[in-house]
Structure 1
Amino acid sequence: MRAWLRLMILLWLLTPCLAGASTAIIYQPQLRDRDVAQAQWPLIFMQLRAQGFDTLVVQWTEYGDAFGDAAGHAWLLQRVREARAAGLHIVLGLNSDPAFFQRQQVPTAALGDYLHTLSRRDDAVARRWAGDLGVDAIDGWYLPMEIDDKRWRDPKAREALQDYLASERRQLDRIAPRPVYVTSFFAGNMTPERYAELLDAVQHTGVRAWVQDGAGTGRLGEGERKLYLDAVSQCTETRAHGIVFEIFHQTGADKTFSATALPDAAANTALTQRAPCHGDSVFFELRYLPEMAGIMQR
């Protein structure tokens, strides 16, 4: 057996995994969240744990320049420490490029260079957080890009994507060998079968894909969404490692995203959903929980 293959298998065996399927809530940090009283945050996280959530997915730890400065970093670091103190596992997002969806449209020949730039930034952010938070406090890594079903139809572009994901997994293993996650969404630009193939390619890089259910964005009808979700949720084949259930209603265009929370009854029903095939059940997003009304700006 080749030495590199033995090393990969050893790292996989040593990688701490969340026990069984997780029930996770995504938190998308916004600068306006600093208006929430600091004393409120430990209570928020304790309430999440009491509701049955076991994992907090921090969507990003830097968003462009946001949270990269000393004060912003310290504020978010304290929030993550409080979440962990409340008993939540932490899946830590890295750097998010606000212009990702525009920049991913560069010619395919230049796509690898752009993705390499993202990878270098992620490496720096992961090292900073591993040093400040502590490796033992990190249960997983999250890549704050979203894999759509349009840009990655091109075989050359998909090859660049796979190289990027595999590279991210390797460099994060050198910092702290933990599961690496990414989300993906569909909008009818591929057949359900081709979309399942895309997810299969992602999984083969060692990165675990969570598929957004599309209920909140409303791009497709319920019947259409079911075709895609069924295609990626075959229990005999690992394509989606879990489902992201959207507990919001989008009211604005994608470029200027805006959304409202679901009515309490609808939100509480949505929160009972669970991913098939013992996958992770992930909910987007913290501020849209009924309990956050009047606490966090939406």
Structure 2
Amino acid sequence: MQTIIVLEFILETMHFLQDSILQDVILQDHLLSGNLSVAKFVNEECKHKGERALEKFRFNLERKDWVLEKDFPEEGITIKSVYDEETKDYFLYTVATLDYENEWLAKDILEHTLDATAEWSSDCKELTVVQLWHADRCALVHQVFQKRALGISVMRDVVYSMYGHIEGDRRTTVMFSSKWPGLEPTKKMVRGTVNKGSGLMLHPDPEHPSTRTLMHWMASLDMKIPLLPKGILVPIYAIGCRQYILDLRRYQEARWRMHLDAMRG
């Protein structure tokens, strides 16, 4: 057991040093050349950290210790939870069906639905795609959440990077907290944290590959809510996950009808 703990410590230390060295190299290049913009720095950081986040996302997909929180078979929605020792936080894992062709859905979410999140998600007050790097499938996003119950009187927001990966017909986007000049935490809002390993994967439903998509959505978001233990909030967050899927379905249904009308001319 002691050997395992020592090995884990060594591996974590190596990862930390790799991250630190890479950031130092990028920063030194910036200072020396004088022409490496902040956008390029964040883009390079997104690609590097994105690969690490992708590894964590895949680990979450394969782990066997998920606990069922909510199951809505008539809605095609299942929500599970797990406490993660690495992040010291809970992950919520939602699997849902979306009755749209996979390639169209993935493209529409990236090119339109993400930007319009505040229009259809009941939890979102504002969402801004601050920077988008198409070639590297990276984006930086600022999201402000609606005020909710539980005595929450202060607005909350998150700043996070998105990193995309395509493997066959599977499209994965992972998310993790990031920073951006001008979007530093303020006294007006509580800055939440998007934990590494969050993200979503879309792929064709094996039973209906041409007409239905399966969404695997992994969420771990620390909203810094005082006094309440995180475990107590999990069932509440699970209900929020269901509502998010229902909101998304309604919006995508309207988008799909528009798509069909455009195809008919």
Q: Which is strand-richer, 1 or 2? A: 2
Q: Which is helix-richer, 1 or 2? A: 1
Q: Same fold (TM over 0.5)?
A: no
TM-score, normalising length: structure 1: 0.25
Larger Rg: 2
TM-score, normalising length: structure 2: 0.27
